[in-house]
Amino acid sequence: MTVHIDHDPTHPPIPAHEPARRSGSIVLVLLVAGGIVAAAVVLMTIGRAQAQPYILGLLALLAMVGLFNLFAFAAGIIRFVDRTAEDPVMSRIADHAFDGLAVTDPRGHVVYSNAAYLALTGAASPQDVRPVERVFIGNPDVSEAVFRLLKAAREGKRQQEEVRIAGTGGAHGRWLRMRVRPLGERKREARYAVWSIADITRDRERQEDVFQELQHAIEYLDHAPCGFFSVNPAGELVYVNATLANWLDHDLAEIGSGGLKLTDIVSGDGASLLTSIVAVPGEVKTEVFDIDLRMRGGKTMPARLYHKLAFGADGVPGASRTLVISRARDDRSDPERAAEIRFMRFFDHTPMAIATVDRSGTVVRANARFAKLAQSLSLEAATNKSIFRAVNVRDRSLLIAAINQAAEGQGDIAPVEAMLDGAKERWGQFFVTAVEADERETEAAIVYMLETTERRTLENQINQSQKMDMVGQLAGGIAHDFNNVLSAIMMANDFLLNAHKPTDPSFQDIMQIKQNATRAATLVRQLLAFSRKQTLRPQVLDLGDALSDLTMLLRRLIGEKVKFDPVHSRDLWPVKVDVSQFEQVIVNLAVNARDAMPEGGKLTIKTANVTAQEAERLSYKGMPPADYVRIDVADTGTGIPAEIVDKIFEPFFSTKEVGKGTGLGLSTVYGIVKQTGGFVYVDSEEGKGTTFHIFLPRHLAEQEAQQEPQAAAREAAAEPKPRADLTGQGTILLVEDEEGLRSLNARGLRSRGYTVIEASNGIEALEALEEKDGAIDLVVSDVVMPEMDGPTLLRKLRARNPHLKIIFVSGYAEDAFAKSLEENEKFDFLAKPFALSALVAKVKETMASS
């Protein structure tokens, strides 16, 4: 530590390259200490009494010196200086630094500067040193940069600027790099700023030389007679030279800004060849491909590509470097090379995947379609280059056996139908042929593969459709026969009820028969709903209102464990459906949802309008674009397993326990929706829930206006008239092939006063009409009969008597056979099974109509 005395505190500090401050001396300290010790020894020898005044005087002197130094230090006259700051080695390093250095105080005055700073700022002597802002004052090229530096210095921040100083008198300018930073981290030190100025003219010149050389290289590359392009791992073009852009008729401005991808300039599946190179960490691979490039207008040009790709240490590919040689001119100049080009174009553009493999199944060569197939299956199949990896483990042995046969030179190898590997179910057909004997060392077989997923899907759909149609025909036939049986039972039951009073002991048994017959009729209606041959009574309604009326019933059906959440859109379009049948659809779906949530859950019924454009975007198979009203019935239950989701609409298919379901619930839903003209689809994920989507066609007001008179007439005719007189007179020709049912119907009509002529088929009916010479008031005929069906009988009857009235009775829907009749043909219809009262009421109504 050294004590300095400043004679004038206001005088500016002397720069560091001026005479150095004087260092303190340890000898002086030792002399002072020795003198004090000597004085103490002397005083001890003269005696205590005589020495006391001298001791007090010495202590007073030392106290005065101490107080003087204390006040001098407080006033700043005496300072304690760090000896390391006066280290001559550190001073020389700063003084002889290559960059100019200067330190400024909070007022901006330079308190220190080295020789380089003086030289760079043009100062003649240390007394002429100036701060940076005064050195470059008035220079417009530097003033903005200096302003930013000064602002950073005041805020105690770091800042760097590079400026160009223009030369004078034809001299070249200079480039300077100027920096500023705070002196230290402490608050007092941070008020000082350290400035540095470096001449970087040579660095700039070297950079400009490199840039010029790069520009020349790019210019040469752009106008080279070959094409060049580069693709990043995402498949985007990051560089294309002018030659290739000109060949492909593309604008260079589109390239490098995300405008083009590899698939935009490579025709067909050729891009898959360039992206299917096997990754080897740290290796650089170059492969040659003969493919077609696609021009802007869609035309193609043959080209040979030298594709260079480098992989990192982690196996991740970098950007590719590809040389492109146009082979269009070879087509004219060299016939052999032209033939090679034509073959390669055929090889890569064929819709069949082709590959040559060795005995282990490793792909030796492949076309673009095979490369695309391998990439679409799985990462493992694309990277391992094994054709066996493209086949599911279940069928892999079949392809291995076929390739082994080809390796042995066998011919006529049977095609292999196998499931392809991957997340989705896909299928392919492999054709394996042997190669020539002298090539089997490297290539054991040629494998041709066609993907058959779409074909199998279509076949499954057709088979499913045919099966559903066959089951529907079976269900309809069974329902027709059941209806005849049930009609006979219900007719006989009506006779028994008329003959017994409620007080009779057997009356309750007869009522039990009637109830069971009614239940059987409901089951038959479900079969007819599936076969889409039931009788519907559609009417125009608002689905929101219809579903609101069902709310209380649905809440009771699903129970307290299941939360019911109806979400109805406003202004729903009207639809035309049979209300009771539509309610049956919703109830069936709600019951199934409840059973799928035994521990509770949430049932949501949501409605919305779907425009034709929205329907087209949905892309549901079989549903044409049109306006629909959509009903979604969603649950949070167990879901439907993927392997049975295609079977749920089949009749008698059920996942419930024996005795807990007929298996007709969803088949009934399917049939009712289809017969209404709508569509139903299902989305389900096992463990997460199921959603049924129902689309009903929008009913237009103009259609309703045309059909309103007929509907009104039917509704008026269908209104019940209690205690009506059902007796009548007239001759009725009853045509029914079921003898038991025919006799019961005839008995019932005779009991009401009618004359009945029976016929078992259409031919007998025509003969009876001839015998009566056409004196028939009404014909009641079944639709499905042997030898001659109802519509044929109607045409022949009308040929004899155009005004003859006829009632068709059938278990099928009215429109199921109406298409077999001539347009605007008039007839009445009664659906089986029916009670005696319904038959006589329909007969009297028809005979009374004009």
List of residues 6+ apart from 390 with CB closer than 8 A? 373, 374, 377, 381, 420, 421, 428
The pLDDT value recorded for residue 633 is 93
The pLDDT value recorded for residue 159 is 92
Question: Which residues, in sequence order, are bridge partners of residue 104?
Answer: 110, 193
User: Residue 692 CA to chain centroid, in angstroms?
Assistant: 21
For residues 280, 281, 284, 288, the Cα torsion angle rounded to the nearest 10 degrees is: 20
Q: How far, in Å, CA of 733 to CA of 765, rounded? A: 7
Strand 731-735 and strand 778-782: the pairing is parallel
The pLDDT value recorded for residue 180 is 92
Token pair for residue 707? 């059909």
Q: How far, in Å, CA of 238 to CA of 654, rounded? A: 58
The pLDDT value recorded for residue 3 is 40
Within a 10 A sphere around the Cβ of 173, how many other Cβ atoms? 14
Closest CA to 223 of 234, 215, 232: 215
Q: Which residue has the tokens 């949430």?
A: 602
Question: Which residues, in sequence order, are bridge partners of residue 237?
Answer: 231
Q: How far, in Å, CA of 71 to CA of 51, rounded? A: 30
- What would the CATH number be for the domain defined by 535-697? 3.30.565.10
- The verdict on pTM exceeding 0.85 is no
Quick one: fold of 350-529?
Answer: Beta-Lactamase (3.30.450)
Q: What backbone phi and psi angles, to 5 degrees, belong to 407?
A: -65, -25
Is residue 435 within 8 A of residue 444, CB to CB? The reply is yes
List of residues 6+ apart from 27 with CB closer than 8 A? none
Is 350-529 the same fold as 91-205? yes
Task: Encode 607-669 in three state secondary structure.
Answer: EEEECHHHHHHHCCCCCCCCCEEEEEEEECCCCCCCCCHHHCCCCCCCCCCCCCCCCCHHHHH
Q: How far, in Å, CA of 353 to CA of 358, rounded? A: 17
Task: Encode 646-660 in three state secondary structure.
Answer: HHCCCCCCCCCCCCC
- What would the CATH number be for the domain defined by 224-327? 3.30.450.20
Task: Encode 73-104 in three state secondary structure.
Answer: HHHCCEEEECHHHHCHHHHHHHHCCCCEEEEE
* Single-letter amino acid code for the residue at 411: G
The pLDDT value recorded for residue 283 is 78
Q: How far, in Å, CA of 511 to CA of 493, rounded? A: 8
Token pair for residue 285? 């691979």
- Which SS3 state, helix, strand or coil, does residue 351 take? coil
The pLDDT value recorded for residue 330 is 63
List of residues 6+ apart from 154 with CB closer than 8 A? none
CATH class name, domain 731-848 = alpha beta
* Single-letter amino acid code for the residue at 234: A
Q: How far, in Å, CA of 164 to CA of 177, rounded? A: 9
Crossing angle of helices 665-675 and 507-530, rounded to 10°:
60
pLDDT tens-digit readout, 262-317? 888 887 777 777 776 666 677 787 877 877 888 888 888 888 888 888 877 776 77
- Which SS3 state, helix, strand or coil, does residue 460 take? helix
Q: Which residue has the tokens 């689309």?
A: 695
Token pair for residue 673? 């929706």
Q: How far, in Å, CA of 282 to CA of 668, rounded? A: 64
Is residue 269 within 8 A of residue 348, CB to CB? The reply is yes
Token pair for residue 402? 């076929």
What is the spatial order of strands in the sheet that 601-610 belongs to? Answer: 562-568, 601-610, 628-635, 689-697, 679-685
H helices of 500-578, where? 507-530, 543-558
Buried b (16+ CB within 10 A) or exposed e, 101-122: bbbbeeeeebbbbbbbbbebbe
91-205: CATH, from 1.10.3720.10, 3.30.70.2740, 3.20.20.140, 3.30.450.20 = 3.30.450.20
Q: How far, in Å, CA of 284 to CA of 329, rounded? A: 31
pLDDT tens-digit readout, 674-688? 878 899 999 988 888
- Which SS3 state, helix, strand or coil, does residue 366 take? strand
Q: How far, in Å, CA of 410 to CA of 388, rounded? A: 20
Q: How far, in Å, CA of 572 to CA of 696, rounded? A: 12
Q: What backbone phi and psi angles, to 5 degrees, belong to 735?
A: -115, 115
Classify the C-alpha dihedral 67-69-75-81 as positive or negative.
negative
User: Residue 191 CA to chain centroid, in angstroms?
Assistant: 59
Closest CA to 324 of 224, 218, 238, 234: 224
Give the domain ranges of the chain: 27-75, 91-205, 224-327, 350-529, 535-697, 731-848
Buried b (16+ CB within 10 A) or exposed e, 18-46: eeeeeeeeeeeeeeeeeeeeeeeeebeee
Radius of gyration of the chain (CA): 52
User: Residue 651 CA to chain centroid, in angstroms?
Assistant: 35
H helices of 23-83, where? 26-45, 48-75
Q: Which residues of the chain have pLDDT under 70?
A: 1-25, 76, 78-94, 167-172, 184-190, 253-259, 276-280, 315, 328-334, 377-384, 423, 438-440, 464-465, 467-480, 522-537, 650-665, 701-726, 812-820, 823, 850
Token pair for residue 164? 């160009």
For residues 494, 499, 502, 504, the Cα torsion angle rounded to the nearest 10 degrees is: -130
List of residues 6+ apart from 586 with CB closer than 8 A? 547, 550, 554, 605, 631, 633
* Single-letter amino acid code for the residue at 335: P
Q: How far, in Å, CA of 175 to CA of 200, rounded? A: 5
Token pair for residue 795? 């045409």
